[in-house]
Amino acid sequence: MIVWFAGENPVQVLKILVRGAFGSRYDLGMTLFYSTPLIFTGLSVAVVFRAGMFNVGAEGQLAVGALAAAAVGMLFPGCPSIVAIPCACIAACIAGGVWGAIPGWLRARRGSHEVINTIMFNFIAAGLCSYLALHPLRNRLSQNPETSEIASQFKLTPFPFFDGAPVGWGLLLALVVATLVWVFLWKSVTGFEWRAVGRNEDAARVAGIDVERSRILAFSLAGALAGMVGIAEVLGNSGRFRVGFSPEYGFIGIAVALLGRNHPLGVVVAALLFGALHKGASELDMESERVTRELSLIFQGLIILCVSVEGFANASLLPGIFKRRTVEGG
């Protein structure tokens, strides 16, 4: 309907969307390439949701993580290849984790609203990263705002199946991490504590759970998960930190988490869907006169709105979704 309003044929647009997303091995690869960061950011948002809070800061966390990965790759060219990739990965996780922990700490200890703080930290991260990428780490050989290239032993090789689309170990890592998050949230004591805090803060406190500590840790893990986008992007694709590389993966992650019911498996499925939507929509930019990729943002907004209501249809509050899930998941 929105498309029709813009004066284009909706069927035509849908065709472009589908062909753009799945038309060839390369297109499919690009869809998976876009899905990979969305799995990370979706998990990041979902973990914090489970702990009863809202992470709008994945965008900043992933930028800091990507910059850290690029910095390690650039600054230690002599690093032996066996430890090179793990080092860069750990750097990305730690940087993202610290960036996530600060709003978590502010929420837990100072009571300031995590939504406002994470938004502010997105802007601060953008400023910090563009400073570091443009001054100390600048690529002198390039006109683009980006860091120099990382040393070759840091790079992940893409799978040849996708005709050159940069899909590789990053996607596998995302799937492994999603499984680990599931195991952690449902099979570990700490995971149980976090979910308890998310469902009923007071009850959790009475039961002797350190609510503040859970909050800070949940946000740190979320930051680390978002930081892993840096691994897929820097080590698996561009080989450098490019200012503004992320087409708002952090915000799409919110839609991914909500549509995926804050469950790791749901997140993976939703990430694939949004990856396809994103790839298809960027095709629209080229093939259609009047309909642009912003269409995918509009879809996201509408999807989140609908999901936010459906949660209430099932139970009374958002944690109601959690209640249902915990009964199922044990």
Partner 1 sequence: MEAAGGDYSVFVLLDELGASTLRVSTPLVFAALGGLYSERAGVVNIALEGMMLVGAFGAAATTLSTHNPWLGGAVGLASGMALAAIYGLFVIPLRANQVVAGTAINILAMGITPFLCKILYHVTSSTPSIPLTERFQFFPVLAAWVAVLLTWMILQRTPGGLWLRFAGENPHALDAAGIPVNPVRWVAVLASGALAGLGGATLSIFLSSSFSRNMTAGRGFMALAALIFGKWRPLHAAGACLLFGFFEAAQIRLQGFSSLGGWSVPAEFVQVLPYVFTVLILAGFAGQTGTPRALGKPFSR
**Residue 304 binds to partner 1 (criterion: CB under 8 A):** yes
CB 312 within 8 A of CB 320: yes
Piece of 108-116, 145-153, 184-192, 229-237 that binds partner 1 (CB under 8 A): 108-116
Nearer to partner 1, 125 or 235 (CB): 125
Structure tokens at 1: 């309907």
Q: Is 164 in the site for partner 1 (CB under 8 A)?
A: no
Of residues 75, 123, 176, 183, which one binds partner 1 by CB under 8 A? Answer: 123
Note whether 315 binds partner 1 by CB under 8 A. Answer: no
**Closest to partner 1 by CB, 123 or 161:** 123
Which of 112, 153, 190, 200 is close enough to bind partner 1 by CB under 8 A? 112
Tell me: does residue 130 bind partner 1 (CB under 8 A). Answer: yes
Identify which range of 174-182, 219-227, 265-273, 312-320 contacts partner 1 by CB under 8 A: 312-320
The answer to the question of residue 200 lying near partner 1 (CB under 8 A) is: no
- Amino acid letter at 61? Q
Query: Mask of contacts with partner 1, 243-272, x by CB under 8 A?
Result: -----x--x--xx--x--------------
Quick check: 309 binds partner 1 (CB under 8 A)? yes
Q: Which of 302, 314, 315, 329 is the binder for partner 1 (CB under 8 A)?
A: 302
- Shortest Cβ 267–partner 1 spacing (Å): 16
Which residues of the shown chain bind partner 1 in the complex (CB under 8 A)?
2, 6-7, 54, 56, 106, 110-113, 115-117, 119-121, 123-124, 126-128, 130-131, 134-135, 248, 251, 254-255, 258, 290-292, 294-305, 307-309, 311-312, 317-318
